[in-house]
Amino acid sequence: MISSSDPLASSNETTPTIQETFKEKSPLFKEFVEKLDTFQTPEEKIAHGLRFMRSSISQEGSPHFREFWEARRAVLPLFRENLNPAIRSNLWNEYVELTVEARRLKEILEEQSSFAMEQIDLAINALVEDLSHFEELLNASGDVQFLETSHTIQEKSGTYNQIQKELNLLNTLASRLNSLRKEIIKTDMRIRFKTKFFRRLSQLGDDIFPKRKELIEKISQEFEKDVEDFMSQQFQDQEILGGSYYALREEIKALQAAAKIFTLSSGAFTRTRLKLSECWDKVKHSEKEYRKEIHEKRQASFEKREYFQIKIDALKNQGLDWEGLNREIQGVLIEMRSVSLARDDVRYLRSELDVLRSPYIAVQEQKAQELKDLEKEKFKEKQERVKEVKKRMEEALRNAENMALEILEAEYKELQIAVKGVDVGRMEKQQLERSLRPLRDWIVEKKEQSLLNLSEDDKKILDNLRMVLSQRKERRQEIKKQIEVYRKALGGSSLDFEKAMHYQELIEQEKESLEKVDAAIEEMDQKIAELDL
């Protein structure tokens, strides 16, 4: 600390001028010294020096400690000159206060600098740690996301993705390294500490930047080659070799988007951008020419459309019948096919021809609807007749046991005629015929019962029994023949599943009838045997 006493009061040595003492100083300090020499009295010089010292440590940003201490050294000899004691005491006190404040401020800044150095050291250590686990970080990073997919580079998407993933990680590490370098530059610390940090960052840069440069060159070469291939495949001079304009525009946009995503060298980015811009201009020029050609064709097609419109309007007033109108329309259609018309014009003219047909078509549709309604009515009548026949069958079967044989036979014959007269499909008719068989069985049973109930002598009874037995055997033969017919039909390979099931059901029903007939024959044989004894 500077003593508050006057250590310079007894000094009589001759001192050099201030300008001679501080020749090699900063421009700011030289300006201060030059202005200091303009003052006449020591009091004014000291006051000016104190103002400069205060401004050096109170200005925005980092304090100018070098200028402060140099100004302090320049002001200190001025206190040896002849000054008013009261004024010198006040000025000396302010001089001491500024010195104490500067030292306190320096301590604070040194503490901040020490903290900043610790943080920088931690950040550098973290960067070293990430570099040592580079492969792990690379595997954990996600794939490169493309906003638009380019067909040109799609086959190499795996290669591009791997290179760019590695570049993204290296770019992040390089960005962190550059940020640390800037942080070290702006942080107040001793030069030897800065040199130490810069040396460490330089070593890290040797691990990052050469590899990053190599990958940038590799991806730039691949991308430039793909852009060249795209140009050679799709363009020749000013002509487009293939592909729609929309597809080419989208492909160019996708390649431009990829160029922004990839970390390309500045030269490669500029060259590919210019080439893709050239492709874009070619597409726009070709599309403009194409649209001009299309416009001319549409204009020519519109004129032809007006010609056909006149012919169609003429047909509206001729009052032709359906056949005549069709002939005229076919003639117009043939003539339309012989000329070049735009699709929209063809649709329009066809719609106009449809308007001509619409009244006739409406009449035809009405007739078709009437026929359809008639068919529905006929079908309904058929269904009613079928229902009526089925109802008569059910009623006859329900009353068959109590009906006389003659009435039952008459009803059976009428139902046979009714079934034959019904206009239905083969399957449904067979079902109706099958429904009649139980009624026929009732008739056979009643006939047999009437024969058994005859009140004659044993011989006549025996004859009757034998007659009944013969009838039953004939009935059995009929059933067997019918079963054989069904089996042959079932064995045919052309039957579908539904028909096969139908014939199988018929066979089962005939087997049931056969079992009944066999039982009746056996019963009849027993009765005949008893009479023979």
Of 290, 313, 337, the domain-final residue: 290
Residue-wise pLDDT for 215-241, tens only, equals 899 889 988 898 888 888 877 766 676
Reported as a pLDDT band with limits 50, 70 and 90, residue 184 is confident
In whole angstroms, what is the distance from residue 30 CA to residue 59 CA?
18
Region 100-110: mean pLDDT is 80
Mean pLDDT of the chain: 78
Residue 267: is it exposed, middle or buried by C-beta count within 10 angstroms (0-12/13-18/19+)? exposed
pLDDT on residue 10 = 34
Reported as a pLDDT band with limits 50, 70 and 90, residue 147 is low
In whole angstroms, what is the distance from residue 102 CA to residue 130 CA?
41
* pLDDT at residue 532 is higher than 70: no
Element containing residue 478 per DSSP (H, E): helix 458-491
In a domain, 140, yes or no: yes
* pLDDT at residue 24 is higher than 60: no
Q: Tell me phi and psi for residue 250, to 5 degrees.
A: -65, -40
In a domain, 530, yes or no: yes
Q: Say if residue 105 is in the same domain as residue 201.
A: no
Of 271, 290, 309, the domain-final residue: 290
Residue-wise pLDDT for 287-331, tens only, equals 787 778 777 787 887 777 787 777 777 777 776 777 777 777 788
In a domain, 485, yes or no: yes
Region 86-90: mean pLDDT is 86
In whole angstroms, what is the distance from residue 449 CA to residue 45 CA?
161
Of 299, 290, 308, 294, the residue nearest 346 (C-alpha):
308
Range in 38-52, 395-409, 458-472, 507-521 the model is least confident about: 458-472
In a domain, 63, yes or no: yes
Of 263, 290, 317, the domain-final residue: 290
Q: Say if residue 320 is in the same domain as residue 283.
A: no
Q: Say if residue 265 is in the same domain as residue 320.
A: no
Q: Is 239 helix (H, G, I), strand (E, B) or coil?
A: strand
Contact status, residue 426 vs residue 498, Cβ threshold 8 Å: no
Range in 82-86, 222-226, 432-436 the model is least confident about: 432-436
More reliable by pLDDT, 392 or 211? 211
In whole angstroms, what is the distance from residue 195 CA to residue 201 CA?
10
Q: Say if residue 39 is in the same domain as residue 83.
A: yes
Three-state DSSP string of 322-391 = HHHHHHHHHHHHHHHHCCCCCHHHHHHHHHHHHHHHHHHHHHHHHHHHHHHHHHHHHHHHHHHHHHHHHH
pLDDT on residue 391 = 83
In a domain, 71, yes or no: yes
* pLDDT at residue 178 is higher than 60: yes
In a domain, 421, yes or no: no
In a domain, 408, yes or no: no
Q: Say if residue 49 is in the same domain as residue 81.
A: yes
Q: Say if residue 143 is in the same domain as residue 284.
A: yes
Reported as a pLDDT band with limits 50, 70 and 90, residue 16 is very low
Q: Say if residue 137 is in the same domain as residue 267.
A: yes
* pLDDT at residue 370 is higher than 70: yes
* pLDDT at residue 21 is higher than 60: no
Q: Say if residue 100 is in the same domain as residue 148.
A: no
Range in 104-113, 206-215, 491-500 the model is least confident about: 491-500
* Contacts for 50 with CB less than 8 Å, ≥ 6 apart: 75, 91, 94, 95, 98
Q: Say if residue 481 is in the same domain as residue 523.
A: yes
Residue-wise pLDDT for 240-288, tens only, equals 766 677 788 888 888 888 888 888 889 989 998 998 888 888 888 877 8
Q: Say if residue 229 is in the same domain as residue 313.
A: no
In a domain, 401, yes or no: no
Q: Say if residue 252 is in the same domain as residue 305.
A: no
Structure tokens at 295: 């416009």
CATH number at residue 475: 1.10.287
Structural domain including 315 reads 301-368
pLDDT on residue 123 = 87
Domain count, the chain: 4
pLDDT on residue 217 = 92
pTM attached to this predicted model:
0.46
Q: Say if residue 191 is in the same domain as residue 307.
A: no
* pLDDT at residue 1 is higher than 60: no
